[in-house]
């Protein structure tokens, strides 16, 4: 979310790599709370890291991507962008913004050869969803102590037992970023084991 840091980081990557063909925006934070107890600072921090951070990296990378070979951007949205995940309103807003921005950028840059897609992970085990002391079968870190767990019944994946590993998303990202995804832009791919049919 720091503009100067993003500018320096992208410039260093372009210099080290000799250009840029693919950008994957996977950084983000997840915080859970009752919305009426969420401070403005906490809400804005989530938007700044997840949504503004994604924008900043894309903005700085576009000049190099325009010179790249088959350039593609894969953004991390979430199933939260389209489906109700209680106690995560700020996170849902940030991921919905990423998804909408992905569509807008795909339209803007299609004629210039850059593809923009998004993945919507859900029910995926990661450092963000596991949290401290949270098992692979849980729904995420930091839920309020009085959270109504019955609200999460519909968030169980239909495939397998509990959350899947991050490699299930990595394969989709690799496809979208590669020539295999050359005719895919302006859309998102949900990777959630059938949680949301």
Q: Where are the domains of the chain?
A: 3-12+19-191
pLDDT reading at 138 higher than 90: no
**What percent of the chain is helix, strand and coil (3-state, nearest 5)?**
50, 10, 40
Which of 9-13, 52-56, 101-105, 154-158 comes out lowest in average pLDDT? 154-158
Active site residue 87: no
Strand boundaries in the chain, DSSP class E: 22-25, 72-76, 115-121, 187-191
pLDDT band at 132; cut points 50, 70, 90: very low
Homologous superfamily of domain range 3-12+19-191: NAD(P)-binding Rossmann-like Domain (3.40.50.720)
Return d(Cα 37, Cα 81) in angstroms, integer. Answer: 21
Return d(Cα 197, Cα 85) in angstroms, integer. Answer: 15
Kindly write down the DSSP assignment for every residue of 82-126, as one continuous string. TS--TT-HHHHHHHHHHHHHHHHHHHHHGGGT-EEEEEEE-SB--
- At residue 141, the pLDDT reads 57
- At residue 52, the pLDDT reads 98
- At residue 127, the pLDDT reads 64
What is the CA 173 to chain-centroid distance, rounded?
11
What is the mean predicted confidence (pLDDT) over 67-75?
Answer: 98
Tally of residues, the chain:
197
What is the mean predicted confidence (pLDDT) over 146-162?
Answer: 79
Tokens standing for 80? 């939260």
Tokens standing for 137? 């079968």
CB 168 within 8 A of CB 132: no
pLDDT reading at 151 higher than 90: no
Which candidate in 43, 55, 76, 91 is catalytic? 91
Mean pLDDT (the chain, rounded) = 89
Give residue-wise pLDDT tens across range 81-125: 999 789 999 999 999 999 999 999 999 999 999 999 999 988 777
Helix (H) or strand (E) holding 182: none
pLDDT band at 78; cut points 50, 70, 90: very high
- At residue 139, the pLDDT reads 41
What is the mean predicted confidence (pLDDT) over 48-61?
Answer: 98
């Amino acid at each position: 979310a720091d503009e100067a840091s993003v500018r320096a980081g992208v410039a260093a990557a372009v210099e080290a790599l000799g250009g840029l063909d693919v950008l994957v925006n996977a950084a983000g934070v997840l915080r859970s709370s009752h919305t009426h107890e969420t401070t403005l600072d906490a809400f804005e921090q989530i938007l700044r890291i997840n949504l503004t951070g994604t924008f900043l990296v894309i903005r700085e990378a576009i000049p190099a991507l325009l010179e790249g070979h088959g350039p593609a951007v894969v953004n991390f949205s979430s199933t939260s962008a389209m489906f109700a995940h209680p106690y995560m309103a700020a996170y849902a807003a940030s991921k919905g913004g990423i998804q909408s921005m992905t569509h807008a950028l795909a339209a803007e840059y299609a004629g210039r050869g850059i593809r923009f897609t998004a993945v919507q992970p859900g029910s995926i085990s990661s450092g963000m969803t596991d949290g401290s002391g949270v098992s692979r079968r849980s729904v995420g870190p930091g839920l309020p102590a009085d959270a109504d767990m019955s609200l999460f019944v519909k968030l169980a994946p239909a495939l397998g037992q509990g959350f899947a590993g991050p490699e299930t998303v990595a394969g989709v990202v690799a496809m979208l970023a590669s020539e295999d995804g050359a005719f895919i832009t302006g859309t998102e791919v949900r990777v959630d084991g059938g949680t949301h049919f």
